[in-house]
Amino acid sequence: MKLLDTFVAKVIESSDYTKDDIFYLTNRILALVGEDNAQQETAQTELIALKDELVDLAVANGKVGELAEEKDCLGAELMNFMTPIPSQVNKNFWETYAQSPQKAISEFYDLSKRNDYIKVAAIAKNIAFTTPSDYGDMEITINLSKPEKDPKAIAAAKLAKASSYPKCQLCMENEGYQGRINHPARANHRIIRMDLADEKWGFQYSPYAYFNEHCIVLNTQHVPMVISQDTFAQLLDIVDIFPGYFAGSNSDLPIVGGSILTHNHYQGGRHVFPMEMAELTQQFTFKDFPDVTAGIVNWPMSVIRLRGENKSRLVQLAEVIRLAWRDYSDVQVDVLAYTDDTPHHTVTPIARKRNGLFELDIVLRDNHTSKEHPDGVYHPHADVQHIKKENIGLIEVMGLAILPPRLKDELVEVEKYVLNQYNEMADYHKDWADAIKADHPGANQETVSEIVKQAVGQTFVRVLEDAGVYKGDEQGQAAFMRFVESVGVE
């Protein structure tokens, strides 16, 4: 089979193009990749693999640079040939949605994989496992999907002309954007338009998904993250619009927030997280809300779960709790709402629909710092930062650890250390590895990998416990109930 002919045939098979468009497609692609060797033999039959060969050909023909970022720009442009224009994608989605929401969602998700916007092959490189804990099975992922930056790309990015377009990677202007050395390629990117609480929002999938059907719902305006009553209403609307999905928001303060605080957005997907499966340790009813069941979740972070049939009632109660928490302090347990005029309290909300009822999990967050914990009193403490030192955002809150790629090789060295073999283990793992060795004197080549994985899981639980405002001991839970009672319970 000839490379260019096969790619063109696959584009026609996967798009609205017809055989009448063969010459047009051939010429447009030749302009991108060069004419030399475009009809070389290929053994590939899948569209994405054919695209990769054409990109390599373009490099050889001098049509594109050899840096990954440059190749990604061309690759996205080639996959744009099989991707309908945004207006058609939206028309198809909402026409199908009127008949079957599940089918509309499934078809858009499938398109986002087939056109290589969702990096399926890269995501498959991630290392994932589960570990048991007192709170249920925790999910651990060592994130290997995003390629490390080439030093040449870093140098080129420094020399690149500064640009404020698009303002950030979540802006609507990314749809169809060519990309550059310091901004990802988005020629094959599509966004579904939708209304949430009288605002215009967009729905897209995450290119480097952390879980099944990982999506992002973004404000069409470049406005900062903010948690308000509208947030709760919009999250519950999302789980109504997308059956089987959860929806959640990172909080809106540094340390306890996500990585992008400059653009209001939510995350969601078709995944059951460990926190969702956790039971309630206490149940109560808030005053004036007898129709909403409420309780404290058995979880290392401080979570109040609300459940009811009426979305607006959950929204009203969630806002009462948020406003109460915003100004609440309890010096007995180092809960501090303000330092002078600087606020420290916000929430991480998560919505879902389960067994016909709406649920809202309200996770209490506090971002104040101290001399002992300069990174944050309720942030991973220094002794666990060798595993996880980044902010604990929405995904980690729910029990899925996103750990840095360095751990892939570092944990192998820890295993060697535990087995008393020659190793090049990083010094910052030593205390932790010594504890593993002491707890497992009989570790051997067959068992050590699992032992270290379990230790990673236990450390992640500690990370979440550090981030939890109210601890699981008697004093912490009594303090938690003091806050609940300050809101007003029957």
3-state secondary structure of 295: strand
- Average pLDDT (310-320) is 98
Q: Is the pTM of this model over 0.85?
A: yes
Tally of CB atoms within 10 A around 93: 22
Examine the domain organization and report whether 146 and 283 are in the same domain.
yes
The verdict on 245 and 154 lying in the same domain is: yes
Same domain for 26 and 135? no
As a whole number of angstroms, the distance between CA 67 and CA 185 comes to 13
Same domain? For 157 and 55 the reply is: no
Q: How many domains does the chain have?
A: 2
In a domain, 460, yes or no: no
Please check whether residue 81 lies inside any domain of the structure: no
Instruction: Assess if residue 60 is contained within a domain.
Output: yes
DSSP helix/strand/coil, 270: coil
Q: Is the pLDDT of residue 156 over 80?
A: no
Q: What confidence tens digit (pLDDT) does each residue in 170-217 have?
A: 999 999 999 999 999 999 999 999 999 889 999 999 999 999 999 999
236 contacts 358 by C-beta, under 8 angstroms: yes
Across 383-410, b (16+ Cβ under 10 Å) vs e yields ebebbbeebbbbbbbbbbbbbebebeeb
Q: 337 and 207 share a domain?
A: yes
Whether the CB-CB separation of 484 and 304 falls below 8 Å is answered with yes
Q: Does 356 reside within a domain? A: yes
Specify whether 136 is located in the same domain as 51.
no
pLDDT at 359: 98
14 and 152 assigned to the same domain: no
Does residue 426 sit within a domain? Answer: no
Count Cα neighbours of 219 within 13 Å in the Cβ-side half-sphere.
Answer: 20
Tell me, yes or no, whether 222 and 332 share the same domain. Answer: yes
Report yes or no on 479 lying in a domain: yes
Residue 151 has pLDDT above 80, yes or no: no
Same domain, 266 and 376: yes
396: CB partners within 8 A, 6+ apart: 388, 402, 463, 464, 467
Q: Give the burial string for 231-256 (b: 16+ CB within 10 Å, else e).
A: bbbbbbbbbebbeebbbbbbbbbebb
Q: Taking each helix axis from N to C terminus, what angle separates 229-241 and 311-326, rounded to the nearest 10 degrees?
A: 150
The domain of 56 spans 3-64
Number of neighbours of residue 326 by Cβ within 10 angstroms: 15
In DSSP terms, 345 is beta-bridged to: 366
Residue 411 lies in a domain: no
Q: How far is it, in rounded angstroms, from Cα 278 to Cα 143?
A: 25
Residue 153 banded pLDDT, cuts 50, 70, 90: low
CA distance 173 to 176: 8
SS3 167: coil
**Hey, is 298 helix, strand or coil?**
coil
Show which of 38, 64, 90 is a domain's final residue: 64
- So what's the pLDDT on residue 158? 64
Residues 225, 132: one domain? yes
**29 with 136, same domain?**
no
Residue 317 pLDDT greater than 60, yes or no: yes
**Residue 147 pLDDT:** 66
**pLDDT 10s digits, 44-57:** 999 999 999 999 99
Query: What pLDDT does 149 receive?
Result: 60
Same structural domain, 17 and 156: no
In a domain, 267, yes or no: yes
Under the banding of pLDDT at 50, 70 and 90, the label for residue 457 is very high
Of 64, 81, 98, which closes a domain? Answer: 64
